[in-house]
Amino acid sequence: MQKKLLSFLIATLLVSLNGVFAIPPFADGEYGIVIEGYDWGPAVSKVILSLDEPVTIVNWSDYNVMVHRSSDCATIPANQILGSRRVLAGYVSNAKGKRLNEGNHVTLVLAVAPNLPIGSPIQYSRAEGCSGNSWINYDMTIRDETNGLIWNKEVNRIMPIIDRFDLSGKFSDGNGITMSYASYSPPNVQGKSPLIIWLHGGGEGGIDPSIPLVANRAANYASDEIQAIFGGAFVLSPQSPTRWMDSGQGTTRGEVNDIYYKAVKALIEDFISNNPNVDQNRIYVGGCSNGGYLALKLIIEYPDFFAAAFPSALAYWATNFTDAQANRIKNIPIWFIHSKDDTVTDPDQTVVPVYNKLKEVGAPNVHFTYYDHVVDITGFFGGEGYHYPGHWSWIYGHANEARQDYDGSLVKLDGRSVTIMEWMAAQSR
């Protein structure tokens, strides 16, 4: 009832006509939204309006788009609850947003940016019961200012790349741990295909496996670009009910066991048994922050199982990484990603001494891309001049942008420079 009332109030904003205020007509027009993943997180990038009659042209500057963000649990800052969306362009389309010469839908392209939280359909919160990132209510009211038409009823959501995943995965280890997971299977691939495992950060735990895919663009491992590098690859994204570094008594940084690593290993084995086309010689594990911790933990515990690892923003404390562990994993190909200005997982306490110890014990295939800052790699928001939080170094892995080693040289295979995904695709047990 409150949503309907708010939509009505937004839709009937008073319009001044020679000093007289008129209330425009109210209608329950239907719309769909497109949610895309970006380096900083998801955003509603388009809204698709249903029309009663076909049209051939769109005067997109006539449209006004208002948004109300709300949640029954997550705490949303007051200045991020209500706002307008800037329309960049518009075109005639079908119900999925595909451009047509004539059609019964109009697609409006909306401005998105890392500093426009009004565009996000998720919210990071520390509220009890929904700590971390979670989906929120994202209610839109779109008005055609020329014709007085109004759309305020969402009927469809399109999430490119994420829609490629099966989000229904559930696994119980038999010892009281049940996890949700998302998975992607490459289509029309003959023979064996590698498996990429992604382990989310501390803000993406819970029971909705779409959150780890969308909150920091991990869905990109199913993108055409990365899939082409591997010749098609399975993708598995488990979700922790709490956080991977949960010891059962608090948070572990490697000093004691977490409660999940055995269950995650069992989940991986179960997935492989149900997908016999997985190449068991090419199983790759990566993760960010909490997930970076677990990626390192898994290869320490199961060094003969994985073909390579790619942790970013590593949260495994170096004081807990022993010489014996370093020797145990020194022959596993590893590529670390971190930023010098990471204030959450201090590199001098985590990745730098871990990397150095591996090199000291003679690890032959360990690389480390070490950035000064995490910057806008698209160039749209300031490029090198725009700095994300230093903890967000996973951006470079998801975008397949990491190329340099710790000494600044380019990582090479067979004499040619490679990206992190190109390097990983070449690794095999």
Token readout for 168 is 């229904």
d(CA 179, CA 181): 6
Residue 168 CB-density burial (10 A; 0-12 exposed, 13-18 middle, 19+ buried): exposed
State the chain's maximal CA–CA distance in angstroms. 82
Q: Which residues have C-beta within 8 Å of that of residue 219, sequence separation ≥ 6?
A: 37, 161, 162, 164, 165, 213
User: Phi and psi of 316, rounded to 5°?
Assistant: -90, 120
Which pLDDT belongs to residue 188? 84
Which pLDDT belongs to residue 130? 84
Asked if 265 and 300 touch (Cβ cutoff 8 Å), the reply is: no
- The end-to-end CA distance of the chain, in Å, is 58
pTM across the whole model = 0.92
CA distances from 192 to 94, 184, 237 (A): 38, 15, 19
Which pLDDT belongs to residue 92? 98
H/E stretch holding 2 reads helix 2-11
Architecture of domain 2-158 in this structure: Sandwich (2.60)
DSSP state of 403: -
Which pLDDT belongs to residue 27? 61
Query: Could you give the count of Cα atoms lying within 13 Å of 253 in the half-sphere of its Cβ?
Result: 14
- Judged by DSSP in three states, 135 sits in strand
The answer to whether the 2-158 and 162-425 domains have the same CATH topology is no
d(CA 194, CA 209): 21
Asked if 402 and 337 touch (Cβ cutoff 8 Å), the reply is: yes
Architecture of domain 162-425 in this structure: 3-Layer(aba) Sandwich (3.40)
H/E stretch holding 286 reads strand 278-288
Asked if 75 and 127 touch (Cβ cutoff 8 Å), the reply is: yes
Which pLDDT belongs to residue 129? 80
In whole angstroms, how large is the CA radius of gyration of the chain?
24
d(CA 320, CA 288): 18
Token readout for 404 is 């340099």
Calculate ∠ Cα 344-370-426, nearest 5°. 115
* Domain boundaries defined on the chain: 2-158, 162-425
H/E stretch holding 412 reads strand 412-413
Give one DSSP letter per residue of 150-214, joined into a string: EEEEEEEEE-TTGGGSEEEEEEE-SSS-EEEEEEE--TT--S-EEEEEEE--TTS-SS-THHHHH
Token readout for 288 is 């960010």
Identify which of 106, 107, 109, 113 has the alpha carbon closest to the alpha carbon of residue 89. Answer: 109
Report, as ranges of residue numbers, the positions in the chain whose pLDDT lies below 70: 1-27
- Please report, to the nearest 10 degrees, the dihedral formed by the alpha carbons of residues 63, 158, 242, 344 taken in order: -60
- One-letter identity of residue 306: F
